[in-house]
Homo-oligomer: A and B are copies of this chain.
Amino acid sequence: MSSRIKEIENKLVHAKFKLTTPRRLIMEILLENEGDHLTAEDIHNRLREKGHQVGLATVYRTLELFCELDILSRLNFEDASSYYELEEQDQHHHHLICLSCNKIIEFSDELLEDFMESIEKKYGFEVTDHKIKYLGYCSDCHD
């Protein structure tokens, strides 16, 4: 994981941005919660829980910067918030968003043929809309 930090630090330095403490701390939070979808507020809270005091504005600015550098991707679901997750260059994935419980299920993008059918089978997901973001009801929520 230290190498992941190094890798990200290199991206920053290469793009002529400074290596600051807040940026390092935010990186750490992101790596510790890899796989999760965090909001700016989530990150801000976890920083405070760990006793680090970083301004919320800085969190927003840093997340935006990391997106520009392709360290993060920003996800917009159906609510007002933006969620962030670490960009994993190889395993690109999409999201199933359950309209009932708001669960987010990730699925890989191997095949585009029989795409929808296989997803419906695999996740027991009833697709009710098909807007390219997949919305519907997950196996726990549909009748």
Contact = CB atoms under 8 A, between A and B. Distances in A.
A113 B112 CA distance: 6
A136 to B, nearest CB: 14
Interface residues of A, number: 19
A52 interface: no
Interface of A (DSSP majority class):
loop
A132 B130 contact: no
The number of times this chain is found in the oligomer is 2
Interface in A37-87: 73, 75-76, 78, 80
A92 interface: yes
Contact of A112 (B78, B94, B95, B115): B115
Interface of A: 73, 75-76, 78, 80, 92, 94-95, 109, 112-113, 115-116, 129-134
Given A80-B80, A113-B113, A133-B133, 6 more contacts: A73-B131, A76-B76, A94-B132, A112-B112, A112-B113, A132-B134
A-B CB proximity, top 6 nearest: A94-B132, A112-B112, A112-B115, A132-B132, A113-B113, A76-B76
